[in-house]
Structure 1
Amino acid sequence: MSTTSYFRSRVEPTSLAAGLVVGDVLAIATFIAAGRQEHMGQPIGDPLGFLDTLAPFLIGWAIAALIGGLYTRDAVLTPRRAISWALPAWILALLIGMGLRASSLFTGTAAPTFVLVTFVVGGTLLVGWRALAAVIASRTERIDE
């Protein structure tokens, strides 16, 4: 299987996939913005710091989502499936993101409390969004029929 056909099987070129990308980025960015607001003040006041905190998790999520085929209709076929596919992907994304934060590529640390909070709060936002996306997708599909 070529790289191109592999990625085509993992990312469908549809408006659903585009909507999932936007929602995923917003869910992760919301978590990062809330954390920076709580610990460092207004995220808008330090856009580069915000992006430096956000980037490792977006990179991790992009890798996990591609591996897991999360930008396909199958990934949000039902809320249960959306949760069961997104949760392990979030765990992988978290491990990648924390690894990147612990490296010299990005600032920050992978302190155990941050890992736990990121897993729970970030995961709740992201996996919750994915479950909601499954509900929306199923209703939209019924309307289109």
Structure 2
Amino acid sequence: MTTATSKTMVLRGSAAVSGAAALVALVVAFFVAGSTGLAGAAIGAIAALVILGIGTWAMFWIAAKSPALSLPGAFAVFTFQGLLLFAILLVLSTQAEGVVVRSAALLVVVVTIAWTTSFAFLVRRERIPLFDLPGADV
């Protein structure tokens, strides 16, 4: 299996695990907070899934283009992801009521934990090097 296929499997696998965790949390949010809680939870889940997916793709792209930029690239991508999710919650807090904001924040946390855990597990299982040094093909 090629590294590109393995990376696609990791990206899809992380999205699937995070999506499943989000669905469970969406059901819980609906039963606890009703339709307003469900709306906020959906906003948080969609925002987190999109941002984490794009960030993971960006990290794989950076690592493939320049292994030396993997660490600074990871720092930049992860910082930008956190700031973007914070900004979404901040804007949401000015536009919506507390139940919506709390539900969205909860789903951001749930999806982030599920994504990070599944990503680490899948990268390890697929044996994807986080960076390759040029000329290290042995």
Using structure 2 for the length normalisation, give the TM-score.
Answer: 0.50
Question: Does the CA contact (< 8 Å) of 1:28 and 1:57 recur in 2?
Answer: no
Task: Please say if 1:20 is aligned against 2:20.
Answer: no
- CA–CA distance in structure 2, aligned partners of residues 97 and 70 of structure 1: 22
Could you tell me which of 52, 59, 82 is aligned with 2:50? 59
Q: CA deviation at 1:93?
A: 5.7
Q: Which SS does the other structure have where 2:22 is aligned?
A: helix
Q: Which residue does 2:119 correspond to in 1?
A: 130
- CA–CA distance in structure 2, aligned partners of residues 30 and 123 of structure 1: 12
Structure 2: any 5+ residue segments left out of the alignment? Answer: 32-38, 65-70, 129-137
- CA–CA distance in structure 2, aligned partners of residues 122 and 30 of structure 1: 9
Q: How many residues align?
A: 110
- CA–CA distance in structure 1, aligned partners of residues 46 and 110 of structure 2: 17
Question: Does the CA contact (< 8 Å) of 2:52 and 2:115 recur in 1?
Answer: no
- CA–CA distance in structure 1, aligned partners of residues 104 and 94 of structure 2: 15
Q: CA deviation at 1:16?
A: 1.5
Structure 1: any 5+ residue segments left out of the alignment? Answer: 1-12, 42-48, 76-80, 140-144
Q: CA deviation at 1:36?
A: 1.4
Q: Which residue does 2:101 correspond to in 1?
A: 110
Question: Does the CA contact (< 8 Å) of 1:91 and 1:119 recur in 2?
Answer: no
CA RMSD after TM alignment: 4.3
Q: CA deviation at 1:22?
A: 0.9
Larger helix proportion, structure 1 or 2? Answer: 2
Q: CA deviation at 1:101?
A: 5.7
Q: Which one has a bigger Cα radius of gyration?
A: 2
Q: Which residue does 2:133 correspond to in 1?
A: none
Question: Does the CA contact (< 8 Å) of 1:17 and 1:71 recur in 2?
Answer: yes
Using structure 1 for the length normalisation, give the TM-score.
Answer: 0.49
**Which amino acid in the other structure matches residue 51 of structure 2?**
G
Question: Does the CA contact (< 8 Å) of 2:45 and 2:108 recur in 1?
Answer: no
- The structure-2 alpha-carbon separation of the partners of 1:16 and 1:92, relative to structure 1 and needing over 3 Å to count, comes to farther
Q: Which SS does the other structure have where 2:23 is aligned?
A: helix
Q: Which SS does the other structure have where 2:101 is aligned?
A: coil
Equivalent residues in 2 for 1:1-145 (5 A)?
Answer: 14-40=4-30, 54-66=45-57, 69-71=58-60, 74=63, 88=79, 91-92=82-83, 94-95=85-86, 98=89, 109-111=100-102, 114-115=104-105, 117-138=106-127
Q: CA deviation at 1:15?
A: 0.6
